[in-house]
Chain A
Amino acid sequence: MQHQSVLENWLRGIALALIVLFFMFPIFWILLMSLQTNETILRSPPSMVFSPTLSNYQAIFAGRLDSNAASLDIRFLGNLWNSIILSVGSVGVALLFGVPAAYAFARYKFRGSEDIAFTLLSFRFAPPLLVLLPLTSYFQTLGIADTYFGLIWVYQLICLPLILWIVRGYFEDIPADVEHAYRIAGHGWFATFRNIALPLARPGIAAAGLLAFIFAWNNFIFALVLASADKQPVTVGALAFVTASGIQYGQIAAAVVLSIAPTLALALYAQRYLVEGLSLGAVKG
């Protein structure tokens, strides 16, 4: 067993602290900005000494933006709610269809299976606008333009390929013998899928679901093109603080803090699954 000297421990600690500081500083700075008025944020030179205020958060929760010229209605909490509906809905649908599909692609070789799997992956290659403009016409004809249903459907372009390909790799890593043994005991394929494959693949599914959630949460263009203002997610809603009459830096920072909170909480909660799931799914035995 190797022993580290005190100096090595100190250096290691300092290096880790510097890395954490480097990556966390932007988030910390935004948090500080969210507790300041525009005037203190814009003072020159910038300073970390200020009287904290919750006025930015109050403005967001009250739905009023006091800009340089006038007071404007803001709907940021509505945007936050839209992001939750769209992200949770689209990841839920993608898991519902993507996990069984991933299992099928991993365990059963059928005609055209690779072509189908690659076609689904290719959704990720297409420039979004190339797909969205024709979709606008189709959605209007089908009557699903400007609906959560239509948006969650389109969000499958992001979520479904991601879940399918990550989970597929993970299913492939589970030894087939385990499933065969269960089936020899007289169980059908669905029972095997439900009782053996799914529990073993849970970390991979959690990791894929989390990644899909983050991608869906960060999406910008789909709702912008396909939906009205009342269905826009936080990525579009946060821009409302940049107005012709000025930029509300404090309220932008508060909006950023609020909008990263759900994904941050989810990532912290699931980080164990994320690392484990991704590393196990990525390496074939």
Chain B
Amino acid sequence: MHEKERDLVSAFMRGEMDRRELIRGLGALGVTAGTAGTLLNMAATKAMAADFDWMKHSGKSIKILLNKHPYTDALLANLDNFKSMTGMEVAYDIFPEDVYFDKVTAALSSRSSEYDAFMVGAYMTWTYGPAGWIVDHNEWIMDSDKTNPAYNWTDMIEGVRKSCAWNGRPGGALGSDDAMQWCVPWGYEQNNLSYNAAMLENSGIGIPNNLDELMEAAAKVQADNEGIYGIGVRGSRSWATIHPGFLSAYSNLGEVDLNVSADGKLSAAMNTDASKEFHAKWVKMIQDSGAADWSSHTWYQVGTDLGAGKSAIIYDADILGYFMNGGENAMAGQLAYAPFAASGNGAPTPNIWIWSLSMSKFSRDLDATWYFMQWATGTEHALFGARNMDFVNPVRQSVWDDPMFRDRIAQSYPGYVEMHDVSAPGAAIKFTAQPLFFDLTTEWAASLQKMVANEVPVDEGLDQLAESVNRQLNEAGLG
């Protein structure tokens, strides 16, 4: 770093200038925004090292298991900073997403000590935690000797942080006082609308504000734009069909997946009158305006069709729309974003997917691994990834408040920041935490497929589903 640049960054770190002044100053010296972010990150890393003994585990090695993902790219791009700050060595294995959880599950179930930490989804911890394969991270987070004073745990968005904590009791509320923190949030996805602005404009329709409007908009945009379908939602026979737009809309209408009685017993809640009404609308929306091969649609098909201009709207993960707005996609630069509340009350409550990090119970050195964990989930790395790479959505409020990040997103992703701001207060996992989650939710998706294919009427299908769910809960001793 040259003297002038270093002086500017140091002044910023001392609080003598704000971020905009710093950017302007660095710009005058010919430093690009990306490089400015890197310089800031290096300076911030040094500042962070001043308050905490980061070299305590110097010379130790850990190994982490990662999914091939933009979050992983951001981590690897910044990993040298961690190594130089701690003197630790970090080895890693990266596996494709399609087989990633097979690898994680195999490693944990065989009690392998090969990996000290790994990427995980919060839903998976409902299996891994009670099985004793991962640790309760509260033990480290709350220990001031092991966690750096700048870690700022409560900076994590509350709904996201709490969604990674469960007390292990079937039906237990996420984030309760007695909950174990099975994973530490890293990046997350809200489920909202991403849409092709030109197609909606061509139809002369605005952004839908409730489920009925969404159905109408999907039908009209499909009719007015040749060769496309109106709305992309997932449809494969998988739990992943239920958790994005479907459950976000469902929960926004006040519906739940399971009832939890006072004595902790669970029972199916998807065959109420309101639920049946919602299902009927959802099924009709897919029949009228969904993809012809909807029942095979996963994350990939939903995103690819939006990016290729084959669909007008998706009700899915916001970062899926984010990714489709760049690269080689035919519709790159033409997508926009909007929050969505199915009830029309203007207060979205999106269900979320959280990419998190967890420490393996079988790690040979959990304290050293926690050094990596707190750095990787800390503010400095989150800022680095959010400003310079595609580490979105950040889980820390301070990053969402960062002007450099907001400006970058606002320039290329119209409406994205506003969408997040509106939905974040209501964003959380809306499922009931329980060990049969994957089985029951997959069956829910299978029922939905039958309803869309007109193999069974919605009312009857939901009654059959509820009966099956109740039977399985009873057999497992949960009902």
Q: Which A residues lie at the B interface, using CB under 8 A?
A: 37-39, 42-44, 66-70, 72, 129, 132-134, 136-137, 140, 145-146, 224-225, 228-230, 232, 236-237, 239-240, 242-247
Contacts and interface: CB of A to CB of B under 8 A. Distances in A.
Contacts of B320: 244
Nearest to A232: B95
Interface in B314-353: 319-320, 323-324, 326-330, 332
Nearest to A247: B300
Nearest to B326: A68
A245 B96 CA distance: 12
B477 interface: no
A205 to B, nearest CB: 34
A223 to B, nearest CB: 10
B153 interface: no
Q: What bracket does the count of chain B residues touching chain A fall in?
A: 35 or more
Nearest to B355: A244
Contacts of B98: 239, 242
A104 to B, nearest CB: 35
Nearest to B106: A225
Contacts of A225: 102-103, 106, 110
Given A244-B68, A245-B327, 7 more contacts: A44-B309, A66-B328, A67-B327, A68-B326, A225-B102, A239-B99, A243-B68
B114 A146 contact: yes
B307 A242 contact: no
Interface of B: 68-70, 73, 93-99, 102-103, 106-107, 109-114, 227, 299-300, 303-304, 307-310, 319-320, 323-324, 326-330, 332, 389-390
A123 B304 CA distance: 41
B323 A244 contact: yes
Contacts of A72: 68, 73
B97 to A, nearest CB: 6
A132 B102 CA distance: 12
17 contacts: A68-B324, A68-B326, A68-B329, A70-B70, A129-B106, A145-B112, A228-B93, A229-B94, A236-B99, A237-B96, A242-B97, A243-B96, A244-B299, A244-B319, A245-B323, A246-B324, A247-B304
Contacts, number: 114
B323 A42 contact: no
A57 to B, nearest CB: 17
Contact of B106 (A146, A224, A247): A224
Contact of A68 (B68, B110, B307): B307
B240 to A, nearest CB: 12
| A-side interface mostly | mixed
Nearest to B322: A69
Given A69-B70, A134-B110, A140-B112, A236 B96 contact: yes
B310 A246 contact: no
A38 B305 CA distance: 12
Nearest to A67: B327
B96 A246 contact: no
Contact of A44 (B97, B299, B308): B308
A37 B68 contact: no
B110 A133 contact: yes
Nearest to B110: A136
A137 B110 contact: yes
Given A133-B109, A229-B94, A236-B99, A69 B68 contact: no
A132 B112 CA distance: 12
B334 to A, nearest CB: 14
B178 to A, nearest CB: 32
For A67, A68, A145, A242, the residue with the greatest tally of chain B CB atoms inside 10 Å of its CB is: A68
